[in-house]
Structure 1
Amino acid sequence: MAGLSEIRMQVMWNRLISVVEEQALTLLRTAFSTSVREAGDLSAGVFTPDGPMLAQAVTGTPGHVNTMAEAVLHFLAEIPREEMFEGDCYVTNDPWKGTGHLHDITMVAPSFKDGQLVAFFACTAHVVDVGGRGFGADGKSVFEEGLLIPIMRFADRGTVNRDLINILRNNVREPNQVVGDFYSLSACNEVGHRRLIDMMAETQMDTLDDLAEFIFDRSRTATLERIAALPKGMWQNEMMVDGYDVPVKLVATLSVNEDEVTVDFTGTDGVSKWGINCPMIYSKAYACYAVKCVVAPDIPNNSASLAPFTVTSPVNILNAERPAPVSLRHVMGHMVPDLVLGTLAKALPGQIMAEGAAALWNIHISARPEAGKDGRRSEVLMFNSGGTGARPELDGLGATAFPSGVHTMPIEATEHTGPIVVWRKELRPDSGGAGRMRGGLGQVIEIAPAEGHEFDFSAMFDRVNHPAHGRDGGADGAPGVVELDDGTKLRPKGWQHVPAGNRLILKAPGGGGFGPENERSEEARAEDQLKGYVTKETSE
């Protein structure tokens, strides 16, 4: 019977994954913002009644999923169990209790069966605007960066909080998109709840207790076995990144013992006065992700499999305390996996990929008509990616979002949201670092205001002055470039202007190479030239 019981539990586990996948797909299908609908900048998951994450949707980003795993516990600390009712839905965008900055909205909803609390569903998505200065690094405190929603009720026993909706509509630049996304998030949790109750009724389950014990026990045991097989010791890695106005040093120390992996950020530069700081909840999410990618990539991501990974830090740019500005927390946060992988490369020589572009090359555009001309105003958010680092046995991936995992938005969808024209979006030849395995290529994006319009844009770029390093003899990737079509160089971060008649040109950075270049095969070199990844002049 024990074997049969385990088979049944495995079937239930697969059913649970289908539940959270449908939960996430509901958000994708109903979201208003292109960052959610087209790029998949979201997360969804189911949690036990006491808060630990039971299962996550495959659709979504590590930064959202792993922060959400901790965020739900903050909701439970704020809202007493006796004040939770069927039809409730709770919300926050508090950077220190949610997912790191104000643009991410996290919603949590209790799931009741026959009057008994059996689970929580949670989801997160990035909305196009939260007021304030807009999505950018120019703020000097979180108070400038937009509207902060403390943990509160979005819906009380099925009735939406109209006061909250009214506050939103009067504080954001795109009220229909933002309010629409709030309802999409709520619907996402509701679909998860309905599918879970259907599953439990069909299988005659009154609680998820036995299934949770099965999932957590197997996940914890498997993760500890992987950790036990690692070399034991301590390794340190440093990385320089662009920062806002001065370079920033990031430092990580990895410690491995029999049953725990610890990452510590002591030595990292202090809190910045600009909005590139990262709350610990987000730094921790990506540090755990990096370790898990190497140690236990095939083990389900839940509270039990994450528990053996500990992340610590004094107050610094990766552990910024309230009220530090944190709007672009993703830039530093996306650098954390490369930083941590650098420590693992010392622990596991020859097995870890080279550095990549890491941080997304997001651009937020605020378009408007030229003075005296008719037209429309619009806020446009566009995600772009550089190349990933080369792997020990494979080339890096071109224009791929690692570690975030978001999709590229189709140009047609982006142009539809505002008066802009994307004239070019293509791979950038010669941008991948040379090596036995070539780094992934960046891309070139050329954007102009539509006729009769101009725009300001928020630059959120890195690896312009500090390119991705190669590994084990591989060459660095090409640095990024931000400029106008007339050759004017622009800053990699901060709000800037593109006048009518000009085009903004972004050249996203490439990933570092792996291994000595002279070890690359002639077949691979010929294929690089044939596909245009490397020009003949560069090859020669």
Structure 2
Amino acid sequence: MSVAAATSIDPVTVEIIRNALNAAAEDMNATLIRSAYTPIIYEAGDCVVALLDADHQVLGQSAGLPIFLGNLETCTRATEERFGREVWEPGDVWILNDSYLGGTHLNDVTIFGPVFVGELLVGFTASRAHWIDVGSKDPGGSMDSVNIFQEGLRLGAMKLVEGGRHVRSVMDTIAYNVRFPYPTSGDMHAMIACITMGEKRLQELVARFGLDVLEAARDEIFRQTEQLERAVISAIPDGVYRAEGVLDNDGIDLDTPIPIRLTVTVAADTIDFDVTESADQAVGPVNCGAAQAVSALRVGYKLLVSPDLPGNGGSFRTMSTQVRSGSVLGAVAPAACQWYFSHLGLLIDMVAKALAPAMPDRVAGASHGDSMIILTSGNDPRTKRDFVSLEATVGGWGAWDGSDGESALINNVNGSLKDIPIEVYETRYPWRITNYRIRPDSGGPGRWRGGNGVQREYEALTDCTVSLWFERSRQPAWGLFGGGDAIGPDVVINPGRADERRVLKANGLRLRAGDVVRCAAGGGGGYGDATERPAAAVLDDVRDRYLSAEFAQAQYGITLPIA
């Protein structure tokens, strides 16, 4: 359709359809969350859904994990490329979790299906959610895997439902290869219900407006998005911008950092992101498929260019990406990918760092940057059943020109993901959470202060194991324009006892009932010179226990009359 044809559609109709598409995606997401069986989905919200058109372009996407931004269509495209356009049939539902196609770890399962009106293919619906266990060598996932085969059941694109009938052989294969078949099956069927809801909503929109009007509105929405993004890029001075960061290690060789390098080239109304100079794929599970590197760069781009616009098929037309096959950001088989997200959070912060000289009013200091995972497993004496829990830890975000950073938020990879409420956690798992609070002094100082991390303390009520994946200690969140760096993460086993020990990454540590794990997440970077922060703001921070009086004295040079 021509631009002239697209712009001739009634703007009111365009807005109605724009919001209807996003509302349809939210309906899908609500169906999934309300139907799911495991807290990682129904409490934490580790999921995302999307409606796609017949050309695999995003029509509407729910709030969810930004790291899946513009990524679900990768699965439908890959399926079509492998099997041909004619593979799509009414009533079919597909499943895929291949790390090198979807880009994430095997626990992130994508379920998707075509949408037909009569015999005409009009689009696709897709959902992705974290499954608590997919048969890895350790329950829930391994922090020390060295190849994909240790990480669980790997599924290329295959039919889960064919012509409206369940493919029992595939469903049984999944059930026989996971440790918790009942809740896994429940989550799988919740995802099927989710995409069925999306199918219904898209068919309703076609019936209400007609396919021609719907496609005209789509084209106009895409055109507007592209135009707005090109305008922002055009305002950035042409040039080459660079940033570099490091991961602590790959979880196997704990002494060797992993460099991530980004080059951003702006020319007129186009922008290119190049990560080809980043490290080769690692032995440990810090690798990701190229699709996820692209997704992370899209998140970094969107935070600066179009943060108020929902993602759609018109997004990212002005950007290009360069990812090297065989690198830590473009892994190939059999690279381990279990904890694929650490360098992605780092990369998102690096986009802002690289472009800070050109966009000082839009960038923020770095965030705490990682999911900071605590995973526990064992047998619950209350139920006599095995359990696996997995939780991300919230932390501090960076400050920007005009505001302090937020405290106690999930990292920028995970978006609307939530930590599990204490009441739910203690009900579902044999742990007692004895302490949960803001971690004072963890945010970087500045004219605008970085947000603080949190401290969360777990007491084991039974013998069990704990696995940890805490990152960004070697390079905590940095500040910008004179702002100070934040404090990094810290995990202590049995603090204050004779057997106290500190560890950030571990797989299957054995604990006994009564042992304590104290997890502390880092803060966000500051913005601007700390000497310019008003004394009244520092005083308020001390009163609110965001800062200690000692920190206020050392970092801001202010002696406060507070005990």
| TM bin (shorter chain) | over 0.9
Residues 218-247 of structure 1 show CA distances to partners (whole Å, capped at 9, x for unaligned) of: 222222222112111101111122122121
Matched AA of 1:386: G
Instruction: Say which of 342, 347, 359 aligns to 1:331.
Output: 342
Task: Give the match's secondary structure for 1:249.
Answer: strand
Aligned match of 2:538: 525
1:350 Cα deviation (Å)?
A: 5.6
1:374 Cα deviation (Å)?
A: 8.8
Residues 185-226 of structure 1 show CA distances to partners (whole Å, capped at 9, x for unaligned) of: 111110111122223223344674223222222222222222
**Distance (Å, rounded) in 2 between the aligned partners of 1:207 and 1:136:** 49
**Distance (Å, rounded) in 2 between the aligned partners of 1:369 and 1:80:** 48
Aligned match of 1:320: 331
Task: Give the match's secondary structure for 1:251.
Answer: strand
Residues 450-478 of structure 1 show CA distances to partners (whole Å, capped at 9, x for unaligned) of: 2xx22212211102233111111111111
**Structure 1 position 32 matched with structure 2 position 32:** no
1:275-286 correspondence to structure 2 within 5 Å: 275-286=285-296
**Distance (Å, rounded) in 2 between the aligned partners of 1:466 and 1:367:** 33
**Structure 1 position 220 matched with structure 2 position 231:** no
**Distance (Å, rounded) in 2 between the aligned partners of 1:409 and 1:365:** 14
Aligned match of 1:472: 481
Could you tell which deviates more after superposition, 196-205 or 220-229?
196-205
Task: Give the match's secondary structure for 2:410.
Answer: coil
Could you tell which deviates more after superposition, 201-210 or 352-361?
201-210
**Distance (Å, rounded) in 2 between the aligned partners of 1:199 and 1:69:** 20
1:72 Cα deviation (Å)?
A: 2.3
Task: Give the match's secondary structure for 1:304.
Answer: coil
**Distance (Å, rounded) in 2 between the aligned partners of 1:336 and 1:85:** 39
**Distance (Å, rounded) in 2 between the aligned partners of 1:353 and 1:7:** 35
Task: Give the match's secondary structure for 1:86.
Answer: coil
Matched AA of 2:230: L
**Structure 1 residues 198 and 374: CA distance shift in structure 2, 3 A:** closer
1:312 Cα deviation (Å)?
A: 0.8
Is the CA contact 1:441–1:509 (under 8 Å) kept in the aligned structure 2?
A: yes
Residues 332-366 of structure 1 show CA distances to partners (whole Å, capped at 9, x for unaligned) of: 22211012211111332464211111111122111
**Structure 1 residues 230 and 13: CA distance shift in structure 2, 3 A:** same
Instruction: Say which of 316, 322, 325 aligns to 1:306.
Output: 316
Is the CA contact 1:331–1:461 (under 8 Å) kept in the aligned structure 2?
A: no
**Distance (Å, rounded) in 1 between the aligned partners of 2:173 and 2:152:** 12
Matched AA of 2:327: N
Aligned match of 1:201: 207
**Structure 1 residues 33 and 65: CA distance shift in structure 2, 3 A:** farther
Aligned match of 1:443: 454
1:433 Cα deviation (Å)?
A: 1.0
Aligned match of 2:527: 514
Aligned match of 1:418: 429
Aligned match of 2:561: none
**Distance (Å, rounded) in 2 between the aligned partners of 1:292 and 1:204:** 31
Instruction: Say which of 92, 98, 120 aligns to 1:94.
Output: 98
Q: For this pair of structures, how many residues does the alignment match?
A: 535
Q: What TM-score comes out, normalization by structure 2 length?
A: 0.91
1:37 Cα deviation (Å)?
A: 0.9
Matched AA of 1:33: T
Aligned match of 1:21: 26
Is the CA contact 1:382–1:414 (under 8 Å) kept in the aligned structure 2?
A: no
Residues 300-320 of structure 1 show CA distances to partners (whole Å, capped at 9, x for unaligned) of: 312321222211122321221
Matched AA of 1:42: C
**Structure 1 position 235 matched with structure 2 position 246:** no
**Structure 1 residues 374 and 178: CA distance shift in structure 2, 3 A:** closer
Residues 91-145 of structure 1 show CA distances to partners (whole Å, capped at 9, x for unaligned) of: 1001122241101011111111122111111111111111122423311111111
**Structure 1 position 266 matched with structure 2 position 270:** no
Is the CA contact 1:238–1:250 (under 8 Å) kept in the aligned structure 2?
A: yes
Aligned match of 2:86: 82
1:68 Cα deviation (Å)?
A: 1.2
**Structure 1 position 482 matched with structure 2 position 465:** no
**Structure 1 residues 374 and 183: CA distance shift in structure 2, 3 A:** closer
Matched AA of 1:255: T
Task: Give the match's secondary structure for 1:303.
Answer: coil
Segments of 5+ residues of structure 2 without an aligned counterpart are 554-563
Task: Give the match's secondary structure for 2:357.
Answer: helix
**Structure 1 position 287 matched with structure 2 position 297:** yes
**Structure 1 residues 90 and 25: CA distance shift in structure 2, 3 A:** same
Residues 15-51 of structure 1 show CA distances to partners (whole Å, capped at 9, x for unaligned) of: 1111111111111111112121112211111111121
Aligned match of 2:178: 172
**Distance (Å, rounded) in 2 between the aligned partners of 1:154 and 1:466:** 43
Residues 445-503 of structure 1 show CA distances to partners (whole Å, capped at 9, x for unaligned) of: 111222xx222122111022331111111111112111112321124344323222210
Is the CA contact 1:360–1:461 (under 8 Å) kept in the aligned structure 2?
A: yes
Residues 491-536 of structure 1 show CA distances to partners (whole Å, capped at 9, x for unaligned) of: 4344323222210111111111111111111221111011111112
Could you tell which deviates more after superposition, 440-449 or 3-12?
3-12
1:416 Cα deviation (Å)?
A: 2.7
Residues 159-186 of structure 1 show CA distances to partners (whole Å, capped at 9, x for unaligned) of: 1111122112211112112111111111
**Structure 1 residues 340 and 202: CA distance shift in structure 2, 3 A:** same
**Distance (Å, rounded) in 1 between the aligned partners of 2:507 and 2:473:** 14
**Distance (Å, rounded) in 2 between the aligned partners of 1:495 and 1:138:** 9
Could you tell which deviates more after superposition, 491-500 or 298-307?
491-500
Matched AA of 2:480: R
**Structure 1 position 381 matched with structure 2 position 390:** yes
1:397 Cα deviation (Å)?
A: 0.9
**Structure 1 residues 5 and 302: CA distance shift in structure 2, 3 A:** same
1:424 Cα deviation (Å)?
A: 1.6
**Distance (Å, rounded) in 2 between the aligned partners of 1:474 and 1:377:** 47
Residues 371-412 of structure 1 show CA distances to partners (whole Å, capped at 9, x for unaligned) of: xx9943201111211111111211111111131211222122
**Structure 1 position 161 matched with structure 2 position 167:** yes
Could you tell which deviates more after superposition, 74-83 or 496-505?
74-83
Aligned match of 1:361: 372
Is the CA contact 1:275–1:329 (under 8 Å) kept in the aligned structure 2?
A: yes
Is the CA contact 2:239–2:265 (under 8 Å) kept in the aligned structure 1?
A: yes
**Structure 1 residues 519 and 53: CA distance shift in structure 2, 3 A:** same
**Structure 1 position 500 matched with structure 2 position 513:** yes
**Distance (Å, rounded) in 1 between the aligned partners of 2:431 and 2:378:** 8
**Distance (Å, rounded) in 2 between the aligned partners of 1:204 and 1:254:** 42
Is the CA contact 1:498–1:504 (under 8 Å) kept in the aligned structure 2?
A: no
1:142-157 correspondence to structure 2 within 5 Å: 142-157=148-163
Task: Give the match's secondary structure for 2:385.
Answer: coil
Instruction: Say which of 128, 134, 140 aligns to 1:130.
Output: 134
1:152 Cα deviation (Å)?
A: 0.3
Task: Give the match's secondary structure for 1:415.
Answer: helix
Matched AA of 1:419: P
Is the CA contact 2:103–2:290 (under 8 Å) kept in the aligned structure 1?
A: no
Task: Give the match's secondary structure for 2:337.
Answer: coil
Is the CA contact 1:433–1:470 (under 8 Å) kept in the aligned structure 2?
A: yes
**Distance (Å, rounded) in 1 between the aligned partners of 2:485 and 2:458:** 27
Could you tell which deviates more after superposition, 347-356 or 417-426?
347-356
Could you tell which deviates more after superposition, 196-205 or 159-168?
196-205
Instruction: Say which of 413, 419, 431 aligns to 1:408.
Output: 419
Is the CA contact 1:35–1:128 (under 8 Å) kept in the aligned structure 2?
A: yes
**Structure 1 residues 48 and 4: CA distance shift in structure 2, 3 A:** closer
1:369 Cα deviation (Å)?
A: 6.1
**Structure 1 residues 206 and 416: CA distance shift in structure 2, 3 A:** farther
**Structure 1 residues 536 and 296: CA distance shift in structure 2, 3 A:** same
Is the CA contact 2:147–2:335 (under 8 Å) kept in the aligned structure 1?
A: yes
